[in-house]
Each structure stands twice: as C-alpha cells, then as structure tokens.
Amino acid sequence: MEKVKIRAEDFSFYYSGCRCLKSVTMDMRENTVTGIIGPSGCGKTTFLRSLNRMNDVVLGSRAEGRILLDGKNIYDPDVNVVEIRRRVGMVFQKSNPFPKSIFDNVAYGLRINGITDRDFVRERVEKSLSDAALWKEVDDRLHKSAFELSGGQQQRLCIARALAVEPEVLLMDEPASALDPTATAKIEELIRELKRSYTIVIVTHNMQQAARISDYTAFFMLGELIEYDLASKIFTTPSKKLTEDYITGRFG
C-alpha cells in the first residue's frame, strides 16, 4: 500500500451560504492516479481546487477541516500558500497558455520563483516539455507564440508548464474534455507515465477515462464523498447503490 501524500480530513467548503463540500475524508496516495467522478455541480472541481488552495481567491468562501500534505495541514495560518501552490501544481480544464512564446510559457513558473540562471532554465524547459511528450513537436519553434499550437498541444504545454516548477502533486481538472480522441489518448498515456514521479489527482466527467487511468476512484455527489475505493472495485462491484446507479448510467 502506497504512502499517503495528501489527506483530506473532514473537509468542508462554504461559498455564498451554501455548503459545497460536506465533511470529505479521503486519502490520496503517492505515485498513484486518484480519479474523481460524479455528476455536474457536485463539488469535484471545488474539492480539487481546495487541494492547492486556489479556492482562496473565491470571495466570501470558507474552508473547514484539514487538508494534510505530507502530514502538514495546508490551511494552517503559518503556511506559505505560494509554496503550497508550487508543490501542488494544477492543470485547468480549458487550457490556458499565456500569450507568450512556448519557451516563456514553460519558463514562467521558474522565473517567478526566482530562478534566473539561463542555462538552468533552458535545461528545465527542455526536460518539462519532454516529460509532457511535447518536446519533439516544438523543439524547432520554442520562440513562437503558444497560440500557434493545436488544442492538444496547448494542453500538454500547460502540463509542461506545471511540471517545470517540480511539483510533488499534479491536479488535473478534466484535462482532456476539450480534446479529440487522439489527443485524449496521448494525454492519458502521459498521465500513466507521469504517475511514476508524481501523485496525480484527476477530475473527470468521462467514466470510461476514469476506469482506464485511475488507480483509486472517488465518487462525489452534491458535495459529499459517496464512495472511495480501488478503481477496479468501484467499476465492477461498487458498495453503494448510488455509485452503481451512476456508473451504469441510470443518472448523470
């Protein structure tokens, strides 16, 4: 059994009076892919964003409970949230390359974290683009605009950008939802490769995708964690009826 990397302990999230997450307790294990599934509006993305405190920017919100990264609560008042976000990276649902060159996109994270050594930056950019399976496609046009890339390439660029700051955890919010099947397959293969070095938590609408790539799966509904188990178990013999109904498509 793998070591626990991130643990949510009785975690709730309040926004505009509504309780969007209700006492979620869940372990995400090192070097595994944890898939989060559930119908729309059930708090999957809210939960994901709580893991790197991106929800802090939401005005009028409140978090209760604990999220432990390597045993330390990231919501402790003495925690440097900027450091958390470096350690827990995020890839957004709609790829958001910055209006800079490909090189500058990937180097952005390094530069704002104070790394200016040009050789080091160049090496790290190459490594990140390779890890994101994009290097070969862009090595001859690093200084072209990131917008010239296709949708799938842009998403891999965003992954490379997140990897450049050497996070320990990678949060992915429906990373392939806007992509065609070929590009999706590439991303999924990439995720299988990445989990060897990173802990991955992925939110997905696509149940088949969750079945394909996740080691552990969590089923959320209306802000509650209904069931959490090995993917192999969730998709074959789920314990809760609600899970079974969702998996078999009785509602969605």
Least distance in angstroms from the C-beta of 159 to another protein:
12
Site string for another protein, 39-58 (x = CB under 8 A): -------------x-x--x-
Question: What is the Cα–Cα distance from 206 to 196, expressed in whole angstroms?
Answer: 23
Q: How many residues bind another protein (CB under 8 A)?
A: 26
* Closer residue to another protein in complex, CB, 96/206: 96
* Binding segment toward another protein, per CB under 8 A, in 93-101, 191-199, 208-216, 233-241: 93-101
Q: Which amino acid is at 199?
A: T
Q: Is 73 in the site for another protein (CB under 8 A)?
A: no
Instruction: Return the residue of 61, 108, 135, 224 that touches another protein, per CB under 8 A.
Output: 108
**Residues 142-171 close enough to bind another protein by CB under 8 A:** 145, 147, 158, 161-162, 165
The SS3 of residue 76 is coil
Q: Least distance (Å) from another protein to the CB of residue 155?
A: 13
- Please say whether the dihedral angle defined by the alpha carbons of residues 206, 5, 46 and 105, taken in this order, is positive or negative: negative
86 is a site residue for another protein (CB under 8 A): yes
Q: Closest Cα partner for 222 from 240, 237, 242, 203?
A: 242
Which one of residues 59, 76, 196, 251 is an interface residue with another protein (CB under 8 A)? Answer: 59
Distance CA 33, CA 157 (A): 20
Q: Where are the alpha helices (DSSP H) in the chain?
A: 44-50, 81-87, 102-112, 118-131, 135-138, 151-164, 181-194, 207-213, 231-234, 241-247
* Nearest-approach distance from CB 55 to another protein, in angstroms: 11
Which pair of structure tokens corresponds to residue 242?
């609600």
Within 230-249, the residues that bind another protein by CB under 8 A are none
Distance CA 128, CA 132 (A): 6
Give the C-alpha separation, 204 to 152, whole Å: 16
Using the rule CB under 8 A, is 124 a contact of another protein?
no
Count of all residues that appear for the chain in the document: 252
**Minimum gap (Å) between residue 78 Cβ and another protein:** 17
Contact 190, 22 (CB under 8 A): no
Q: Does 92 bind another protein (CB under 8 A)?
A: yes
- Say whether residue 85 binds another protein (CB under 8 A): yes
The footprint of another protein (CB under 8 A) covers 52, 54, 57, 59, 82-83, 85-86, 89-90, 92, 94, 96, 98-99, 108-109, 111-113, 145, 147, 158, 161-162, 165
